[in-house]
Amino acid sequence: MVILCSILVLVVAACASSTLAPLTPTPVVGSCGLALSETATDEEAVRAVLLAEGELVVQQAIDPLMALWVEGGSVTDAKHTPADAADDQVWLDKDAIRHRYVRIVLPGAQQPAAPADLTLEWEDARVVITATTRIGDEVSPDGDRWVLVNVNGCWLLESLTYNLEPEPQ
């Protein structure tokens, strides 16, 4: 009888574990993870994503930082030659972007690189933003181009191209 009860307990446990999937929360991404007001406009949400990116870099918070990026995103260093893409360095997709943050950006991030002087160009569910780079005393007018995309009501980073300003002659 003890053996029969033990077998029954094991069968019930196996059935229960195979039919019930563990609950995993859906990750909140992009602007939807920033606790914005329900009445926030698209422009406010986009600006909040850019601000959060800089703040999360300083906080060294890689997982929330990566939650701002869409799958398939890219980061490009234009190397101060915006008309010549041949010398660009590109990090494509979230694994490469994460690697760039961890190896290049986070180690030297003492203060936020807050984009300033934003020019926003709206294209349906996408916005292209040209910004002045401000990192400490470094100011590079029109040095960054961000592209954000709206996915299911959340604004996410799709791409960043930086060092767009030509080197002084």
Does position 155 have pLDDT exceeding 60, yes or no?
yes
Lowest model confidence (mean pLDDT) among 84-93, 97-106, 128-137: 128-137
Confidence at residue 114, expressed as pLDDT on a 0 to 100 scale: 67
Separation in Å, CA 164 to CA 37, 114, 116, 169: 33, 16, 15, 15
Does position 17 have pLDDT exceeding 70, yes or no?
no
Does position 128 have pLDDT exceeding 90, yes or no?
yes
Percent of the chain with pLDDT strictly greater than 90:
63
Domains of the chain: 41-162 (3.10.450.50)
What number of residues does the chain have?
A: 169
Confidence at residue 12, expressed as pLDDT on a 0 to 100 scale: 39
Average pLDDT for 72-77: 97
Cβ neighbors of 12 (< 8 A, separation 6 or more) are none
Average pLDDT for 114-139: 86
Confidence at residue 132, expressed as pLDDT on a 0 to 100 scale: 85
Bigger pLDDT: 165 or 3? 165
Average pLDDT for 159-166: 93
Q: What are phi and psi of 81, to 5 degrees?
A: -125, 70
Bigger pLDDT: 166 or 43? 43
How many C-beta atoms lie closer than 10 Å to residue 40's C-beta? 16
What is the pLDDT of the chain when averaged over all its residues?
83
pTM for the structure as a whole: 0.79
